Amino acid sequence: MERLIFHVDVNSAYLSWEAARRVAEGGEDLRLIPAAIGGDPENRTGVILAKSIPAKKYNIRTGEPVALALRKCPGLVLARPDFRLYEKNSKAFMDICRRYAPVVEKFSIDECFLDMTGTEKIYPQPLAVAHTIRQTIREELGFTVNIGVSTNKLLAKMASDFEKPDKVHTLFPEEIRLKLWPLPVGALFSVGRATAEKLQRARICTVGDLAAAELSRLQALVGRKLGGQLHAYANGQDNSPVSAEPEEAKGFSVSITLAENVLDMETASKILLELADSVTARMRASHARAYCVSVSIRSSDFHNRSHQKKLEEPTDITKEVYEISKALLADLWKSRTPLRLLGISLTQIVHEDAVQMSFFRDAQKEKARKLDRTLDAIRSRYGADTVKRGSTCQTDLQVGRRYRAQMENKEE
């Protein structure tokens, strides 16, 4: 039986989700004006995470400093990132996908794969059901998606990147020559900038050139494993399954790449508090606690270092993780070199039903845990910026998406 795979990708997710919220509240649609998500609009700091199509006309780029974007477009409307809103919308559109697909795999916060294999009796016309899913998401949630349709995950993902927004595209094996091979080699999934430049120097400029290249030559250029993978991808080959359930998280982490170097412990500590607040909230949402806290840094000379501490009892308390992280950072960084990246990881995870309760409960910890859960509930209902911890009110976190200057929230 030939496989049938959909890839569903939210169009400019962060901006679309903020725009949909504002429209629902009677506000302006950010998608129709020069607008972007990122940084601190008042202080003109941080980086651009997502931008509207009208903003692209001003050559505004994802990952560039907010100050530079505002110089290009003084009238640019900026909105702060809200990761709790993003998680809520991510779950909502994937829940719609699950109405139609027997197997749904979350690939990232704004994209998923659907294995529609064997559904031809229910949905005899694959493109028709793809359009139904697209329209249902738009009508019920107020934002748009692109859907790619093919026989494997690689081709479906490539198809969803074709013309945007709010489109359905196919890339079946018989369409590879016409639709895939003319693309620049850097457009192929998993080809990064450095690899693309290396291939171009070797006169492999399109995906078609890559598909036609000798495997041994590719492996000599980029390595045995990557060369084999890229050659297979260029020829539309991918046998990876759509996995219904993700592996249980082994850890939770969050990191921020800073638009400006941090030079003092006071500023670093404020950032640490916000990171601790973010990562512990996600861990609490999974009803988990961690036995190990680690802090990682990258200095301005791009040296990476990390320290960790193992705990006698697992924790999910923001204040406790923050205090431990601050001590680890003080041990790790003496403020001699500017900080470029700062991160917290929580590992050795156990779930609450597996936590052994002590007869001698710590009243202070229980009070702190109750406060955390109260804040989580308020933010979940009224938004991430409803209430902030005192020390973070003046902190600017230049947050962003994967692969750019960013704050990354991960389950590992």
Closest CA to 109 of 40, 245, 238, 17: 17
285-300 burial code (b ≥16 CB/10 A, e <16): eeebbbbbbbbbbbbe
* DSSP assignment string, 356-390: PPPSS--HHHHHHHHHHHHHHHHHHHH-TTSS--G
| One-letter amino acid for residue 254 of the chain | V
Q: Which of 64, 105, 111, 274 is catalytic?
A: 111
Cβ-contact 400, 86 below 8 angstroms = no
Residue carrying structure tokens 């495997």: 215
Instruction: Dig out the tokens for 215 from the structure.
Output: 């495997």
Concerning whether 111 is annotated as a catalytic residue, the answer is yes
For Cα atoms 173, 155, 213, give the angle at the middle one, nearest 5 degrees.
75
Beta bridge partners of 292: 310, 347
Phi, psi of 385 (to 5 degrees): -90, 5
> Alpha-carbon distance 271 to 342, whole Å?
8
Secondary element (H or E) of residue 156 = helix 153-160
Positions annotated as catalytic residues are 111
